[in-house]
Structure 1
Amino acid sequence: MRELMTMSGTQKARGSLPYVREASHTTPKAFGIASFISLIMACIGTSLFVMVTFFWAKRVSCHSY
């Protein structure tokens, strides 16, 4: 009887391993997605900053004549 109880406990512990493995894969995937989104947002922000700066410089140089 004792062997059956320990075996069922081992099987239960093994049954929970896929959830642990899934969580360990999900966390890096979430960080990867978040870093990709932040990289895209940084690129968009930089390009907007450059465009606004160029337009402002062009406007200032046109009005200075």
Structure 2
Amino acid sequence: MIYIEMRELMTMYTAKVARGSSSYVGEASHTIPKAFGIVSVIILIMTCIGTSLFVMVTLFWAKRVSCHSY
């Protein structure tokens, strides 16, 4: 008896989600782009830091090699 009621409830909820009338669908439509924005900013910052470190190490290595070659 309880199983049948739960099954009907899940069927009704699934139909609501499919129609887009569920509050979770509306919330997800705002949350997902916000999460992508945050991840994009983090990736951009990490890329800038990585590029800066690469340039500094390369310049340090080039200076060290040129000093020892004489």
Please report the TM-score for the alignment, with normalisation by the length of structure 1: 0.70
Identity %: 80
Pick 1 or 2: higher relative contact order, CA cutoff 8 A, min separation 6.
2
User: Which residue is 2:31 aligned to?
Assistant: 26
- Looking at structure 2, the residues matched to 25 and 52 of structure 1 have their Cα atoms a distance apart, in angstroms, of 41
Q: CA RMSD in A?
A: 1.4
The alignment covers a number of residue pairs equal to 51
- Looking at structure 1, the residues matched to 25 and 57 of structure 2 have their Cα atoms a distance apart, in angstroms, of 48
- Looking at structure 2, the residues matched to 30 and 59 of structure 1 have their Cα atoms a distance apart, in angstroms, of 43
- Looking at structure 2, the residues matched to 61 and 52 of structure 1 have their Cα atoms a distance apart, in angstroms, of 14
Q: Is 2:55 the partner of 1:50?
A: yes
Moved segments of 4+, more than 4 Å? none
